[in-house]
Structures are given as structure tokens and as C-alpha cells.
Amino acid sequence: MSENGYFSRFGGRYVAEILRRPLEELETAFAGAMADPAFVAELEELRADFIGRPTPFLYAENATRETGGARIYVKMEGLAHTGAHKINNAIGQALLARRMGKKRVIAETGAGQHGLATASACAKLGLECVVYMGEVDVRRQQPNVASMELYGARVVAVTSGSRVLKDAINEAMRDWASSFADTHYLIGSALGPAPFPDIVRTFQSVIGTETAEQIRARGLDVEALVACVGGGSNAIGFFSPFTTLSSPRLIGAEAGGVGPGVGENAVRMTGTAASDGILQGYKSRFLVDADGQVAETRSISAGLDYPGIGPELAALGESGRIEFTSVPDAAALEALAFFARTEGVLFALESAHAGAAALEVARRAPKDKAVIVNMSGRGDKDIFITSPVFRPEEWRRFLRAELERLESGVDIHVFGGSR
């Protein structure tokens, strides 16, 4: 847990005066909920029956043989409902919101994965859901927008600023400042003003708790745990039972993008472009450009394409407990293809960064050790990004044919006959 909202010098609660009260209310309600056996029991039931927990723990035997080093295991978090770890946090916070008597939940989303998880959780728990999304992202991420709407959420296209994630966050903050009496702001990663980093880590720590149990059941001697790091929620949840121990090694994989230059990646913890800053209510390491402005970032994986990092990870990185490494787009794609071919498992692009880093570590470690990679999501969602890379011509032909089919009017049935 943080101390007064801080992890060493990172974290805090840098918000407008009006938001101090709802954040304090949230902190008190969260502590009360986690101490209430009835809340915990309901959360456990949703984890089992709605999310599908515990998620499996796969011995990647073929991948291990080809790599020739330590035994590789995959925590199959991508088999969670809605395809990634984000649902762990969404269902936890939605349950907390309902307990607090809130009727409405707002969220921000970039690529749409957090919006999707939030919309699904709100549908299940009977909460109204509004998702703020930059207009640019709405246009790029139509499949996720469509799913959110099916779950009954209202997706608001944000037209201010550069019309992407940071603008969606500003808009959600603005909404919350005037609506907190009946509205919960469901933040999607282990960042933002206190107590959000503690809340998100707590709900995501189910990944690490299960992993610790799965390690024990198999009697493994673990060399390292490896996770990808965007805002940092899957990593801190996966690492959480181990951060106060001196082993195993904990390794965070950041997006190396297309190169080391400013704007070419999203490397905050290695590299030289990050510095201390305060953004979106918390103090951490942020990527900045020559003018001291928040820099553009770049990654093939939307989930790692973010200029900041959760404050607890920043602190644990500086203390040396968590090691960071960066993985370029090309290496992530290679690892994605490798695990698909050897194990029949399709990693999300984000998770494939961790997969690539895990292969590196396993290669150099003794055969009697284990390296465990958190597959934070499954790759089905990335078909629009991976297909143009792996099969550009076939994909172009497919899209053209789909468009022609739609425009010819064949096979289109009007839903309910009323539209």
C-alpha cells in the first residue's frame, strides 16, 4: 500500500479542490468494502462465474524446447472475460461503485479495451455507463465501440485537443467534477490520483495471488516474472505478492516502438527522455519533448502507447526491485508469431512484448529454473493490426471484398425489423 498516497516520491493527489472530497469518500469506501466479508464474497463469485477465474497457468513445453533454457510458463490472463486483465479492475470498481450508491459510471478509453471491460461490468451490475473516447480513437476503433454499445454503454466522442486518450481523460475529469454525487469515475490503470493506484493494484493482484499458488502447486524454482507495462496495472497486479520479497526477478517490458528517438517509443524507465512530472492527478515519470511538453509516443500496441507510468512501478523501478527492459515492435511481433506457432496461443500485441522479454531471460537461465510471462490479453482483438503486417495483400483484398458485399446489399438483415 501507499503511504498517504505516495510510493516514495511518486503518486499523490494533484487535483482541483472540488475533487478532494470524492477521492476521500472513495478511499474510505474502498477500505470498508475490502474489510467486509460480504463484499469480498460477491467479488469472489463474480471472479469465478463472470470473469472465469482462476485463469490457467500453461507450461509452454514446445517454446521451452526451442528456446533451450529455463522452463517457460504462461499465465493465461487473456482468457479472462472480454479478453484481458482489465475486467479484474472494472468489475471490482463497478461493485464498489454500486456499494457506494452510485448509479452511473464514467470511464476513459484509448484503444477501447478498458471501455469494453467497463461497459461489460456495468451491464452485469446494472449501472449506467458513459465512456469518453477521443474522436480519432472512435474512428480507429469501431469494433470496440460497437461492442461497448451492445453492452449498453454510451460512447462520447471527445472533440477537444488532439482528440485522443489524454483529451478523453480531461473530459472524464470534467464530468466527474460536476457529477460525483451519483457517479463513479472508473480509472483503467494503476495510476491517477490516490487512492486509484492502490485500488487498481488491489483488484489486479488476483493475477499474482493465483500465480503464487500455481507456482507452489508445481513446486517451481522461479527465476523471473515478466509483464508488459503500459500504465502498469497488469504488471503491478502480477508482481504484487512478490514486491516485498528479494526474489524472483521482476521484469517490466516497455514499448520500444520503432526506435530510441523522442516520439518513436513509449520507454519511460530506461531511455533518457523521461523526467519527473505531474499529469492527470499524480506524480511519476513522464515522457517529455525538448520543450518540456508531454511527448508523442509510439507503439504497435495501443495499450502500451502511453507517456506516463503508474507511481508504484516508478518507485519500484528506481529502488531496483523491478527491472525494466524495452522491446521494439518487430521483436514483439516475432514473439507473437513464435508463441502462436509453438504453443497454439495467440498473445495480444501488448503481452507479446512481455513474451519477447521472457524468451530473452529464459535463454540465459538454467534449465531447472522457471520463467513466467503474464499474457495480459489474447490477440483476437489485434487482427486489424497484425493482418496488414503478416498478410498485407490478402487483407487488402478481404477488406475490399467485404465493402463490396456490404454495398451490394447482400446478406444485410435489419435488426428487429425496426431500423
Ligand X SMILES: *Cc1c(COP(=O)(O)O)cnc(C)c1O
Of residues 110-149, which lie at the interface with ligand X (CB under 6 A)?
Answer: 113
- Measured from the CB atom, the residue of 22 and 78 that comes closer to ligand X is 78
Among 5, 69, 257, 377, binds ligand X (CB under 6 A): 377
Part in contact with ligand X (CB under 6 A); list of ranges 226-234, 289-297, 331-339, 411-419:
226-234
- In the annotation, is 376 catalytic? yes
**Closest distance between ligand X and the C-beta of residue 313, in Å?**
9
- 86 interacts with ligand X by CB under 6 A: yes
Interface with ligand X, residue 303, by CB under 6 A: yes
In contact, 116 and 150? CB cutoff 8 Å: no
Told to check if 228 binds ligand X by CB under 6 A, we report yes
Q: 144, 147, 202, 234: which one contacts ligand X (CB under 6 A)?
A: 234
| Separation between Cα atoms, residue 324 and residue 224, nearest integer Å | 12
Q: Which stretch binds ligand X (CB under 6 A): 56-64, 153-161, 230-238, 363-371?
A: 230-238
Tell me which residue has cell 471472479: 47
Distance spanning both ends of the chain, measured CA to CA: 51
Q: Is 297 in the site for ligand X (CB under 6 A)?
A: no
- Of 4-12, 143-151, 314-322, 347-355, the window that binds ligand X (rule: CB under 6 A) is 347-355
Task: Based on the residue annotation, tell me whether 162 is a catalytic residue of this protein.
Answer: no
Selected binder of ligand X within 43, 106, 121, 229 (CB under 6 A): 229
The answer to whether 153 and 120 have CB atoms below 8 angstroms apart is no
Q: Is 379 left (phi over 0), alpha (psi -120 to 50) or beta?
A: alpha
Are 49 and 81 contacting, i.e. CB atoms less than 8 angstroms apart? no
Q: Round to whole Å and give the CA distance between 226 and 251.
A: 5
**Residue 86 falls in the annotated catalytic set:** yes
Positive or negative CA dihedral for 312, 314, 319, 322? Answer: positive
How far apart CA 342 and CA 5 sit, in angstroms, is 44
Of the candidates 77, 108, 323, 343, the residue annotated as catalytic is 108
From CA 60, how far away is CA 57, in angstroms rounded?
9
Residue at shortest CB range from ligand X? 377
* x-or-dash string of contact with ligand X, 165-204, rule CB under 6 A: ------------------------x---------------
Rule CB under 6 A: is residue 231 a binding residue for ligand X?
yes
75 lines the binding site for ligand X (CB under 6 A) = no
If one asks whether residue 240 binds ligand X (CB under 6 A), the answer comes out as no
Interacting residues toward ligand X by CB under 6 A: 84, 86, 113, 189, 228-235, 303-304, 348, 350-351, 376-377
